Structure 1
Amino acid sequence: MSIISKTAIAAALLMAASPAAAELELSFYLGTQTVTDSDASGTLPDGTAFNRNVDWQGKSLDNPYYYGGRAMWWTNSDLGFGIEGTHTKAYASAGDRAAFGVSRLEFTDGHNIFTANVMKRYPGAFGGSRFTPYAGAGVGIAVPHVDIQVIGASNRTHDFEMTGLALRGIAGMKYELNENWSLFGEYQIVWSDNDVTINADPGVPGQPDGKLRTELLTHAVNIGISYSF
């Protein structure tokens, strides 16, 4: 069974587990996102092998911007089930690109993460305050827009790929403006396992596709707004 099928089943089970949902909350956020260095290994279509620690850059405040959104169904016990999508980014440094023999190596439209989430909120944690802490986790898939240009190749790998499993952790604080609207700030950590295909050069008959494999770990501080009904 494929990763996307397993994720869809998991999401369906999460939704089915919350028949007594008392509240739907829609959230949207912007923020700053960084990427931890990681080892990347594989083979270019011409057969050149590589294995190197990559200095990834997030550039979250450069266009296209980092952003995300989620929908959560909160039960009367303040346990929530939902889905979330985040548009993260990762650029390889100039030195890493040169070492690999590529002029472009990035996931910038973006390194998209989709997860099914389970969350818990704690209203009343600060007495009669409008502040409510929350935390949660999610499991899903990475669907980056892969952008790789091999030096000397007549084509460019420039498309969306489903590259592997993704895991998300969340911890935050919400401030209630009124019955429906809230502001929130949160920290997110996201891990993804990425098995990327580098397209063969059509100008070289019989050339196989290349491969790149790396694990990405992103850290983000988000500020957003939520609407509940």
Structure 2
Amino acid sequence: MKNLVPGLALATVILGAQPAAAEFELGVYTGYQTSPHSRVTGTRGASSGSTPFDNLIGWQGKSFSMPPYYGVRATWWRPNDIGFGIEFSHEKAYAPGAEMPAGFTRLEFTDGHNIITANVSKRWTDKWGVGVTPYVSGGLGIALPHVDVTEGTNRTFGYQLTGPAARLTAGASYKLNENWSIFGEYQFTWSDNTADLAGGGSLSTRIITNAVNVGVGFTF
């Protein structure tokens, strides 16, 4: 027993000095998303003379129209409150009819303008002692929009890998219990897109989104 007691004491000290275990968090959110003006450039299909176009588009988000704006993410939080994860957001961008290039009757990314990023995050667990945890996150990835364009008799309708994307997020979560939390945040995304159009044309545009999100998190 004399040898056992010091050993147990030492084990207790060692275990007590170990950092908390890592945890996984799954989050789902929706919110209000907008997109400022950007230029759309490209070339019409051969049936339209392969002529170039260059238009300034004031994109519309229509966050709550079907299909709605939403996002999901998974984060692996390390004991030092640094997180690594992946995020998907289903954003939307409609071009108003009056601003489309001549000959276009439909120009949108609404099913959606999908952004997929690998993220690095930092949180400050229960910073103020009231269950609120602020966090920031940044990520790099790709844009995989559903390109929906009608130009003359040509219809482009399908998913395309259109270019690089980036994401920045800042928000705070509130713990409801051991597993569940709610959160609110601001999120910014950027993507540089080049899409192929039916009939041999092409389209390029840089799309930026601003969103205010609310969501639910599950930690295990």
Mark yes or no: TM-score above 0.5: yes
Match of 2:165, as an amino acid?
A: A
Question: What is the DSSP-based 3-state SS (H/G/I as helix, E as strand, rest coil) of the residue aligned with 2:189?
Answer: strand
What residue number does 1:56 align with? Answer: 59
What residue number does 1:203 align with? Answer: none
Match of 1:148, as an amino acid?
A: V
From 218, 222, 227, give the equivalent of 2:213.
222
What residue number does 1:40 align with? Answer: 40
Looking at structure 2, the residues matched to 180 and 87 of structure 1 have their Cα atoms a distance apart, in angstroms, of: 25
- 1:1-229 to 2 correspondence within 5 Å? 22-45=22-45, 46=48, 47-97=50-100, 99-126=101-128, 128-151=129-152, 153=153, 155-200=154-199, 209-229=200-220
Question: What is the DSSP-based 3-state SS (H/G/I as helix, E as strand, rest coil) of the residue aligned with 1:95?
Answer: helix
Match of 2:141, as an amino acid?
A: G
What runs of 5+ residues in structure 2 fail to find an aligned partner?
A: 1-19
Cα deviation, residue 170, structure 1: 0.3
TM-score by length of 1: 0.84
| Percentage of pairs with the same residue | 52
Looking at structure 2, the residues matched to 219 and 55 of structure 1 have their Cα atoms a distance apart, in angstroms, of: 14
Looking at structure 2, the residues matched to 217 and 101 of structure 1 have their Cα atoms a distance apart, in angstroms, of: 25
Looking at structure 2, the residues matched to 145 and 76 of structure 1 have their Cα atoms a distance apart, in angstroms, of: 38
Question: What is the DSSP-based 3-state SS (H/G/I as helix, E as strand, rest coil) of the residue aligned with 2:203?
Answer: strand
What runs of 5+ residues in structure 1 fail to find an aligned partner?
A: 1-19, 201-208
Looking at structure 2, the residues matched to 137 and 101 of structure 1 have their Cα atoms a distance apart, in angstroms, of: 39
| Contact 1:21–1:74, Cα closer than 8 Å, also in 2 | no
Looking at structure 1, the residues matched to 73 and 173 of structure 2 have their Cα atoms a distance apart, in angstroms, of: 14
Match of 1:217, as an amino acid?
A: I
Q: What RMSD in Å do the two structures reach over aligned CA positions?
A: 1.1
Cα deviation, residue 55, structure 1: 1.1
Cα deviation, residue 141, structure 1: 0.2
Looking at structure 2, the residues matched to 219 and 131 of structure 1 have their Cα atoms a distance apart, in angstroms, of: 23
| Contact 1:110–1:145, Cα closer than 8 Å, also in 2 | yes
Looking at structure 1, the residues matched to 86 and 80 of structure 2 have their Cα atoms a distance apart, in angstroms, of: 19
Match of 1:67, as an amino acid?
A: Y
Q: Which runs of 4+ in 1 moved over 3 A?
A: none
Looking at structure 2, the residues matched to 223 and 72 of structure 1 have their Cα atoms a distance apart, in angstroms, of: 17
TM-score by length of 2: 0.88
Looking at structure 2, the residues matched to 21 and 72 of structure 1 have their Cα atoms a distance apart, in angstroms, of: 14
Number of equivalenced pairs:
198
Question: What is the DSSP-based 3-state SS (H/G/I as helix, E as strand, rest coil) of the residue aligned with 1:124?
Answer: coil
Once the two structures are superposed, residues 25-44 of structure 1 have per-residue CA deviations (whole angstroms, 9 ceiling, x without a partner) of 00000111001100111101
